[in-house]
Structure 1
Amino acid sequence: MSSRNQRRQLPGDMFPGMPDVLTKRPPKAEDGEHTARTLDEAIARSFEILDEALATYPIVGTYWLSSGGGDSGNLGHLMRGRYDAVLHVNTGTGIPETTQYVRDVAAAWGDTLHELHPRNSYRDLVLGNVLASRGPNAGIRAVWQGFPGPVGHRVMYRHLKDEPLMTFRRSVVGDEGRTKKIIYLGGMRWAETERRFRNAEAIDQDGAIVWVSPLVHWTDAHMREYRTRHRCHQEHEHAPHRLCFDAALPLNEVTEHIHMSGECLCGAFAKPGELDEIGFFYPETAARLRALEEQAETAGIPACRWGQKPPTEKGSTAPAGRLCSSCVAIPGQDDLVDQWRDSGLITPDQHAAFTREAS
């Protein structure tokens, strides 16, 4: 096991009611935050985190970001009744069954669902049909072309996830971001990945958005115990998504099949053989991606294979996006952003901004 993983290695499975804690204090944990807690104590702290954000900022709306993943499901179940509506970013690249799961859960719980869509489609990004809208290359050069590898993840994240969330924020607060703010409730946890361990915070204010992560301190043992406590385990024919009773914790069947939500399949950090795995369970989704591969190849685009590092790309140490828990950067490789600067695709100031974002 690498030293990185040893730093945050978790204890083994815990008996119900026993306290658990990460083996090392996360760099951004507040004083007293890194402490052993039982599940009930972790739950109490989660409510305290949201209460603190509501008391600190002029909040005009609280929104649960539902990805369809397991951690996201735990968060929504725990915070049910404490958010105003559900947000789901339908990137257009994911498995439709996950989006349907989000719709079904929102309907079952009587929640208002805002399904957000990117302005520029994944297909148009891959085929190079999205032109720069600002700077010296506005209307001239594509912001991206080909299937992304690690370097292209930042571009995909910005267009497919970040832009829809920023558009929704503007629809709520307009130009009153100094006096009005909204909360985005996310399921980020220190125990998820090395990047989350280093960078996640319980409350992170960014302009008019206050990112709140009520589960940030939960360990994997806490998550397992919560699922055991609230999910239906009766030996009977379960209702869809295991919503067998009103207070049941839902289950996205996609996560049982491919061990991730599948809500975004941009492919930037795909594992070898991942598309075949997706195709085994969800052949229509895989067929859609393979059809796009054919279109990219016909158009003469070198990066015409989903999930494969583009032939001109040497890699990236850039971090994954704020909402991409399973995307892991590949260390020790050069950044294509330097090539964009050298070729004039971006200005030196834009290059500096990218570099600051990745640091």
Structure 2
Amino acid sequence: MGRRFMTAELLPGMPDTIGRKPVKADQSPPARTLAEAITRSHDIIAEALDRYPIVARQVLFSGGNDSTVLLHLAHPYLDSSPHDAVVHVNTGIGIDETRQHVREVAHTWNLPLRELHPRDSYDDLVLGQVIARTGKNAGIRSVWKGFPGPAGHGVMYRRLKDEPLQRNRAQIVDTRGRSRKVLYLAGMRWGESERRMRNAAEIDQAGGIVWCSPLVHWTNAQMAEYRHTHRLPQNQVSAHLHMSGECLCGAFAKPGELDEIEFFYPRTAYRIRSLEQRVRAAGIPACKWGQKITGQNTPRPGSIAGRLCSSCPAPVEGQTDLMDLWTQQGLLTPAPTPASPTGVAV
């Protein structure tokens, strides 16, 4: 069974506001209540729709519990064109149960789902079989070889997530990026990490894509209250691992993470360990998933590419897992049967 909050009150360690203003934040006062947060989210979406020539509205859904809040909040906007949809990037190196959760939620809520796939597979990337197509190394050198440490995260993000999203955009607007734009609604929040605090913006236009983060100002408490109020479906992968598990590139894996994955999802762990054997057999030194490459520098906070990798920041040593703490204190209880946006149980 999943876990939910017994009440909407704050639990120990849970912030009730964003403590400081990100560089890209506006000067609006903090949303102290859930109702204020919801109103501001709709205002952000409305501003993006008013400011740009949007021809497709798409909600990016990782399958995690935070992105479920975003999907529930934003799904009424998916009614303006045939290209409006829920979008899930299937990186090919994730937990199958998360993929199934994404499909079930989209089906239950009667929402169109676009499941995108990268052109280059994760296996080919770590085996050094993806050759550069442009630049001075075109046709000569691999873009990457071995399992990525932190320094390889940018390559993995661009190849596994950004490339299919860019291709999806191109299929919709073609070369008319000035007059036609795709709105990607994403679930980034300032409160998630130092990287989000530095980089996340409410609205950020890049070429033919308008990135919009309606939940950017939401706190953990507001997210929890919304999930409880609307009885949203919970991804059991998130309940077990505290992440959606839609991408396990391993760039920022914490010590023992693969063992934890194996305990709950042995098929996924077997797939990764089998790939380790293939990489080792190919004579590639970086043959251990989740292990930082010797001599590889960790990127500075805020310099890591990846708008969608909210669960990727390097773990903080000694950081308390609040979910475990609250469970130990008896503040979390099994979740009830969740409901769809229309109130029908999932």
Which residue number in structure 1 is paired with residue 210 of structure 2? 210
- Give per-residue Cα distances to partners, 1:309-329, cap 9 Å, x unaligned: 123524332414110012125
Pair 1:42-2:1 in alignment: no
Give the structure 2 partner of residue 273 of structure 1.
Answer: 256
CA contact (8 A) 1:320 1:328 kept: no
Residue 307 of structure 2, aligned match among 319, 322, 332: 322
Contact 2:254 2:315 in 1 (8 A): no
Distance 1:36 1:134, change over 3 A: closer
Identity of aligned residues (%): 61
Counterpart contact for 2:90–2:99, Cα < 8 Å: yes
Tell me the residue number matched to 2:331: none
Residue in 1 aligned with 2:22? 26
Give, in whole Å, the separation in 1 of the partners of 2:148 and 2:296. Answer: 9
Larger mean CA deviation between 73-82 and 22-31 belongs to 22-31
Where does the alignment leave 5 or more consecutive residues of structure 1 unmatched? 1-11, 232-248, 332-359
Deviations 1:220-277 (A, max 9, x none): 110111111111xxxxxxxxxxxxxxxxx12111101111000000000000000000
Secondary structure of the 1:182 match is strand
* CA distance in structure 2 between the partners assigned to 1:110 and 1:27 by the alignment: 38
Secondary structure of 1:151's match?
A: helix
Cα offset, 1:21, TM superposition: 2.2
Q: Specify the SS of the correspondent of 2:77.
A: coil
Match of 1:195 in 2: 195
**1:159-238 equivalences in 2 (<5 Å):** 159-231=159-231
Counterpart CA distance in 1 for 2:40 and 2:148 is 39
Aligned length: 299
User: In the aligned structure 1, how far is the partner of 2:264 from the partner of 2:53?
Assistant: 45
The residue type paired with residue 253 of structure 2 is: A
Instruction: Give the structure 2 partner of residue 104 of structure 1.
Output: 104
Structure 2 residue ranges without an equivalent (≥5):
1-7, 79-83, 317-346
Cα deviation, 1:61-118, whole Å, max 9, x if unaligned, reads 1000000111100000111221221110000000011011101111111111110000
2:323 matched residue in structure 1: none
Partners of 1:63 and 1:87 within 8 A in 2 = yes
- Per-residue CA distance 1:165-195 (angstroms, 9 max, x = gap): 0000000000000000010000111111111
The structure-2 alpha-carbon separation of the partners of 1:189 and 1:314, relative to structure 1 and needing over 3 Å to count, comes to: closer
**Structure 2: distance between partners of 1:315 and 1:46:** 34
CA shift, 1:35, in A, is 1.9
User: Aligned letter for 1:216?
Assistant: V
* CA distance in structure 2 between the partners assigned to 1:100 and 1:21 by the alignment: 34
User: 1:298 aligns to what?
Assistant: 281
Contact residue 297 and residue 304 of structure 1 kept, 8 A: yes
One-letter code of the match for 2:103? R
Structure 2 distance, partners of 1:27, 1:163, is 27
1:116 aligns with 2:116: yes
Q: Is the 8 A contact 1:319 1:329 kept in 2?
A: no
Q: Counterpart amino acid of 1:80? A: H
Q: One-letter code of the match for 2:76? A: G
SS in 2 for 1:80: helix
Task: Tell me: CA distance 1:146–1:77, structure 2 relative to 1, closer, same or farther (3 Å).
Answer: same
2:187 aligned partner, one-letter code = G
Q: Which residue of 2 aligns with 1:57?
A: 52
> Does the CA-based 8 Å contact 1:69-1:255 persist in structure 2?
yes
TM-score (normalizing by structure 1): 0.80
SS at match of 1:40: helix
1:209-230 residue CA offsets vs partner (Å, 9 max, x unmatched): 0101111111111011111111
> Which one-letter code corresponds to 1:71 in the other structure?
D
Match of 1:311 in 2: 294
Tell me the SS of whatever aligns to 2:151: coil
Provide the C-alpha distance between the structure 1 equivalents of 2:260 and 2:229, rounded to a whole number of angstroms: 31
Distance (whole Å) between structure 2 residues aligned to residue 62 and residue 108 of structure 1? 20
Task: Say whether 1:251 aligns with 2:234.
Answer: yes
CA displacement at 1:14 relative to structure 2: 3.3
Task: Determine the structure 1 residue equivalent to 2:338.
Answer: none
Alpha carbon RMSD of aligned pairs, Å? 1.8
Please give the TM-score of this superposition, normalised by the length of structure 2.
0.83
AA at the equivalent of 2:127:
L
- Measured against aligned partners, the alpha-carbon deviations of 1:136-189 in whole angstroms (never above 9, x if no partner) come to 221111000000000000000000000000000000000000000010000111
